[in-house]
């Protein structure tokens, strides 16, 4: 599992960075991707703020979580590193081992 911590305001060529990463994961053939929004946070690309203060700053944390086998995760994380490195803002990328219990395919995927 790969997790990329960015902000909802990070951009990649006129689109949201988190959407761009999710679509790229799909194009790259990664098994699954999920995008979460946090409520508040700080770290690489964020100062501490909360969604209560969206009038001041509309930035909230966004996490893109990608699941696949170790080799594909390593390969994809190298693939997108140039995107991330070109950001003026910071970014945090983590990985962790998980066990896959079931991966059931639906009709249309």
**Phi, psi (degrees; rounded to nearest 5) at 44:** -55, -50
Of 19-58, which residues contact its own copies (CB under 8 A)? Answer: 19, 22-23, 26, 31-45, 47-48, 50
Asked if residue 12 binds its own copies (CB under 8 A), the reply is: no
Residue 71 DSSP SS3: helix
CB of 2 to its own copies, least distance (A): 8
Length, in residues, of the chain: 109
**25 Cβ contact partners less than 8 Å away, ≥ 6 residues apart:** 33, 64, 66, 76
Q: List the one residue out of 30, 42, 8 whose CA is nearest residue 80.
A: 30
CB of 54 to its own copies, least distance (A): 14
Among 9, 57, 83, 89, binds its own copies (CB under 8 A): 89
Residues that bind its own copies (CB under 8 A): 1-3, 5, 18-19, 22-23, 26, 31-45, 47-48, 50, 61-63, 67, 77, 81, 84-85, 87-109
């Amino acid at each position: 599992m790969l997790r990329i911590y960015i902000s909802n305001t990070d951009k990649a060529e006129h689109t949201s960075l988190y959407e761009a990463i999710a679509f790229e994961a799909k194009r790259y053939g990664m098994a699954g991707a999920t995008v979460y929004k946090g409520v508040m946070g700080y770290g690489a690309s964020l100062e501490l703020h909360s969604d209560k203060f969206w009038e001041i700053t509309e930035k909230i944390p966004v996490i893109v979580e990608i699941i696949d086998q170790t080799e594909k995760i390593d390969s994809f994380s190298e693939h997108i590193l140039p995107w991330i490195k070109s950001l003026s803002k910071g970014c945090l990328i983590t990985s962790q081992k998980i066990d896959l219990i079931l991966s059931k395919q639906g009709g249309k995927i």
